[in-house]
Amino acid sequence: MKFEIRALRTIGLAAATAAAFALPGVALAWEPTEEVEIVVHVQSTSSTWTNADAIARIGRELDLFPHGITVTIMEGARGAKAQTYVARTNAGNPHKLQMLVPTQIASQILSRSEINRDLFRGVAMMLITPKAIAVNASSPYKTFDDLLEAARKNPGKINHAGGDLGSTSSMVSRIMEKYFNIDLTYTPFDDQGVLQLLGGHVDFVFAQPEIVGKFVKAGQLRFLASSQKLEEFPDVPTLKELGYDFEVLDSYRGLWTSKDVPDDAIAFYVDALDKIRQSDEFKEYMKVNSMNEYWVTGEELDKSIDREVEVFTEVATEMNLIEK
């Protein structure tokens, strides 16, 4: 079985090879009058925080924000606390942004939350990051096929660790079960299961290289396969190279804000983020973390977010995560 969940990803990859979508006719007349805050809903061990930190750090280095820019961790309710802070508590406040990642769309759908896509507008999508299957360095599984064989011989005994239920990791776990006709045990953790994998308490994670790559380089973890070729780990085979073709749900990274934020503020941020993404520092950040450029803004981004909501709703319903 293969889920076709490509709405934001497909349009983004197409846009990355063409001119950036802009806000027509909007002059860059607005600029922040106070410190800009990027809110993330997860701990600093997450790739979402890492990306927000890179944006803020490079933005400061380039002196793009006259009153500075900071990253705030606001955990709780699977992202709803952070979303409420940006979209309701600070409705219309152009100084409050939130990282836009797949889970922040999926969690709204799964919880049927009133704090949902209707309260937000997109700012920019900046990159897409592949996923890689990692095991502990002492794991008996030397290849991805070793892991599959173990899963077939031991139904329900192979533990896949990742983020919350409804996250892309949990969806991929279900997709893998159907694709390979196996039975995995998925266990959610706040830190995506990385600490548990390092301790040898779970069998594998299917995570972004930026989360686990440093542990692979340190010899503590080992990659078995990846969704895309990893520049920093060229010897790691892709799933397609191994003969497998299922939807991995590679993660996009971007920013959105309250729907009431005016166009001139959005235009300011698009311009600033464009400068950040074109900087040598950000290009190096993407290279080291095996990421790809993924630039979409303006009306096309908002249309893509709407399509993503539709597709996630369909997939979540098919997986019995929500009622029809």
**Mind listing the pLDDT tens digit for each residue in 192-250?**
899 999 999 999 999 988 889 999 999 999 999 999 888 889 999 999 999 999 878 77
> How confident is the model over 138-167, as a mean pLDDT?
93
pLDDT of residue 21: 43
User: 133 with 225: CB under 8 angstroms?
Assistant: yes
Per-residue pLDDT averaged across 7-11, rounded? 49
Q: How much is the pLDDT for 137?
A: 98
User: What percent of the chain stands above pLDDT 90?
Assistant: 60
pLDDT above 60 for 150:
yes
For 198, the token pair is 């390092």
CB atoms within 10 A of CB 120: 23
- The predicted pLDDT at position 273 comes to 98
256 pairs with which residues across the strands? Answer: 98, 122
pLDDT at position 74: 94
Retrieve residue 206's tokens.
Answer: 């299917």
Looking from the CA of 196 toward its CB, the CA atoms found within 13 Å total 18
Task: Say whether pLDDT at 91 is over 80.
Answer: yes
Tokens (6 digits) for 66 = 């006259």
Give 235-264 pLDDT, tens digit per residue: 999 999 999 998 787 788 999 999 999 999
Closest CA to 55 of 213, 274, 297: 274
Distance separating alpha carbons of residues 165 and 53, to the nearest angstrom: 25
Residues 6+ apart with CB under 8 A from 283: none
As a whole number of angstroms, the distance between CA 263 and CA 281 comes to: 28
Tell me what the mean pLDDT of segment 15-31 comes to. Answer: 55
Per the model's pLDDT, the better-predicted residue between 132 and 309 turns out to be 132
Q: Tokens for 311?
A: 């597709």
User: Alpha carbon of 301 to those of 37, 255, 312: distances in Å?
Assistant: 21, 11, 16
pLDDT reading at 19 higher than 90:
no
In the block, which residue shows the tokens 């705030």? 72
Instruction: Name the CATH superfamily housing domain 7-129+250-318.
Output: Bordetella uptake gene, domain 1 (3.40.190.150)
CATH number of the structural domain 132-226? 3.40.190.10
Please report the pLDDT score of residue 46 as a whole number.
78
pLDDT score of 29 more than 60: yes
220-to-134, 140, 184, 213, 229 alpha-carbon distances in Å = 10, 14, 23, 10, 21
Which residue intervals of the chain bear CATH 3.40.190.10?
Answer: 132-226
Are the C-beta atoms of 241 and 322 separated by less than 8 Å?
A: no
Examine the pLDDT at 312 and tell me if it is beyond 50. Answer: yes
| pLDDT value for 154 | 97
**pLDDT for 323:** 76
Q: What is the mean pLDDT of the chain?
A: 88
Radius of gyration of the chain (CA): 19
What is the per-residue pLDDT across 52-67, written as a single tens digit (0 to 9) for each?
Answer: 999 999 999 999 999 9
How is residue 72 written in tokens?
């705030």
Give ranges for CATH 3.40.190.150 in the chain: 7-129+250-318
Which pLDDT score, from 0 to 100, does residue 3 have?
42
Going from the C-alpha of 62 to that of each of 65, 164, 274, the distances in angstroms are: 8, 35, 12
The pLDDT confidence band at residue 164, using thresholds 50, 70 and 90, is confident
Provide mean pLDDT across the span 102-114.
84
Q: Strand 221-226 and strand 69-73: pairing?
A: unpaired
Q: Distance (Å, rounded) from C-alpha 121 to C-alpha 299?
A: 9
Has residue 180 got a pLDDT over 50?
yes
Closest CA to 124 of 195, 249, 20: 20
Distance CA 141, CA 30 (A): 55
Residue 47 scores a pLDDT above 90: no
User: Mean per-residue pLDDT for 282-286?
Assistant: 93
